[in-house]
Structure 1
């Protein structure tokens, strides 16, 4: 008999919670789902933007390293200066 009362209590509590949630919800369910979906999209866009910024920065650092290596290995002063300038440009963009 006690388990029957326990199940009845749990079911009535769940029902009361659902009713209270529906009555006191600040927005309609459709609006709430749209807001949750929009927030999720915003987080995904932000993550994509962060990943793109990171990869761009990494690419510029790699290009700067390549230019510095070319400058150190070049035989002429003009090529060395050009590659050093390229490296500085990539450093500024990184």
Structure 2
């Protein structure tokens, strides 16, 4: 998970914990306190789900961008290597022709 994701998750978890502790120490009836805790827990769960969905979306977006960049760079490298291989083959063919001529002169 990214730094931003960890930070957001920490903030949400801290807020939920703080709200729960605040409610527990508030001078109210137990039923009211439990209802508030439940409400805050549901709210925290919804926040975590929303943040998780947001992070998943961001990660998918970044993955797709990097996937496209990788594909483009790979195609470029393959093309470049193919050109270099053709150059090497051409050079070797010329050298072979030169050596054949030299061999014919010696023979």
TM-score (normalised: structure 1): 0.49
Q: Which has the larger radius of gyration?
A: 2
